[in-house]
Structure formats: C-alpha cells, structure tokens
Amino acid sequence: MRGRTARTASALAGGAAALTLLTATGAHAERRGDIRVTAAVVNGGKNVIIGTSRRVTYPIAITVKDNSGVKGLSHVSVFNKADGWGFGDWTGTTCVRKSSTTSVCTATMELAPQSLPGSLPEDVDNTVGVWQVDATVRANDGDYWIADDIAEFKTKRASELTTDASPEPVAKGAKLTVTGRLTRANREDLQYHGFTGQDVKLQFRADGAAHYATVKTVRTGDAGKLGTKVTATSAGSWFWYFPGTTTTARVVSAGDAVKLR
C-alpha cells in the first residue's frame, strides 16, 4: 500500500469500526472555487494516546468557508508524517453552521488496538510521532478542496506507573523506601513492558498542602523498575511522575500516603 494515497475509509462492520491501513504520498492540494479550510484542530489540541485495549476515539474539528455555504466533508484520513503509514477509521461527521458562509465540521476518528498486531509490515509502534490530517471539503455550489496536511498532531504510546512506599507508618527522621515501575504499551503483543533508562521524578505532598514538590529524579532500571530511599520528615503522599517522551505519554502514579508514628 505504500506509494499511493487512500481516499476512502473502510465501512463499518457489525456496528464496530474496522481497521483501515493507509499510506500517504507527498503533500498536495486541488481546489475549485473559493472554498477553503481556515482552521483544523485534532483532539482539542491534545496528543492521541494509544494503549493495548481501550478503543480510542478522537475528534478533528475542521473550519470550512465558502460563499455558498458548506456542504460537508467527503474524505478524512490520518497518516504518520515520517513513514506514511496510518490506521484508524473515519466513523462520522457533524457539521455546525456558524454563519451563511462558515461551518465547523467535526470528524470522529476511531481505532481499536486489538486490530493493530501484525497490521503493518513493520513494528506498529514505529508509527508513533507526528501525524497529519488529509481531508476533502465541499461547498453547496459544487466547489471543493482536496488537501493534505491541513493539521498535525502527535500519537503516543500509553504508559503506566506505580508507587509503593514502606514501611508504613514510618518514624519521623527514619528512612523510607519508595519503589515503583514504569511501563508502556506494546501494540504488537498488546502488553505493557518495562521502560528502562528513563528519568522519573519522585514527588511528595505533605498532608494539608496544596502543592507537591519534586524530591529527586531517579532513572528506571531493568524492566522499568524504580527504587530510592528518602528521609521521612512529615506525613503525606508520595508520587512518581514521568514527563513523557516524543513517543510515550506522560503519566503520574497514584499517590501512596504514609503516616508518621
């Protein structure tokens, strides 16, 4: 499928979206008349995070203008900018008329991680990074615009993070051991695996405090494991915070509350 542009999304089967695999050619645009896209925003400006089980749905809001009014969208697809591969389905569109010439058409994109293993001739996790949106928009008077790269967004692998502090309770001034594990989604085997060699911040929020503070930064070891010792000076909750990378989502662990004795 490399080397051509797919212009249609797959049909829905049995009420669920089937996987669409797409490849993109170089950016291009074809237009007739005065129709144009004036803005496009993916997922409200947030990254699209893909895990191993939860179906992912996200919107693409496209603002379209034409002097005759907007008819709607006849094509929407998404691709990785680096390698041209894409996956997911365009499952529907709702257009809201803002004026006689302008409408915001929001396309819903959907994908099921269960459909991803073995779907590409390369590791599907390599498709994370910057993606682009292609779309065809149409006006009431027959004007149209077929355009690539009307918006860009990032897809990332989901991550998980745990925290455990012991002993509980702990004597004031004694040493407290805080452990955890950072993992991220592998979409070839639909499992979470340890993410090694990553800097993770250990944070603490004292009881009654409104904010937390970073105590130290620890690098993940084998299988994504974390471990460090700190001095217990007050009761409160301990967290691990991973700021994320270009390919992997940020994550904050659940807090582990520790009392003093």
pLDDT digits 0-9 by tens, 193-246: 999 999 999 999 999 999 999 999 999 999 999 999 999 999 999 999 999 999
- Tell me, what's the pLDDT at 13? 25
Q: 142 pairs with which residues across the strands?
A: none
Instruction: Check if 12-156 and 159-258 are the same fold.
Output: yes
Least confident stretch, 22-26, 43-47, 192-196, 198-202: 22-26
Q: 179 pairs with which residues across the strands?
A: 164, 227
- The tokens of 85 are what? 């591969």
For range 37-58, the mean pLDDT: 97
Count of Cβ atoms closer than 10 Å to residue 35 Cβ: 23
Please name the residue that has the structure tokens 């998980």.
Answer: 160
- Tell me, what's the pLDDT at 122? 85
**Contact predicate 162/200, CB 8 Å:** no
Distance CA 110, CA 51 (A): 13
Segments making up each domain of the chain, as ranges: 12-156, 159-258
Distance CA 110, CA 21 (A): 12
pLDDT of 46 over the 70 cut: yes
User: What CATH number matches the domain at 159-258, 3.30.1160.10, 1.25.10.10, 3.10.20.30, 2.60.40.730?
Assistant: 2.60.40.730
- Cis, bond preceding 169 (omega within 30 deg of 0): yes
In words, the CATH class of domain 12-156 is: mainly beta
Least confident stretch, 21-30, 132-141, 155-164, 233-242: 21-30
Amino acid identity, position 91: T
- Tell me, what's the pLDDT at 14? 26
For range 19-24, the mean pLDDT: 46
What distance lies between CA 169 and its chain's CA centroid? 38
CA dihedral 35, 22, 52, 155 (to 10 degrees): -50
Of 135, 147, 128, nearest to 81 (Cα)? Answer: 128
- Tell me, what's the pLDDT at 28? 56
- The tokens of 112 are what? 């099921």
Please name the residue that has the structure tokens 């993992």.
Answer: 183
Distance CA 142, CA 70 (A): 10
pLDDT of 48 over the 70 cut: yes
pLDDT category at 121 given cuts 50, 70, 90 is: confident
Least confident stretch, 3-7, 25-29, 120-124, 257-261: 3-7
Distance CA 133, CA 241 (A): 31
Question: What separation in angstroms does the CA of 106 have from each of 74, 191, 213?
Answer: 12, 32, 40
What distance lies between CA 25 and its chain's CA centroid? 23
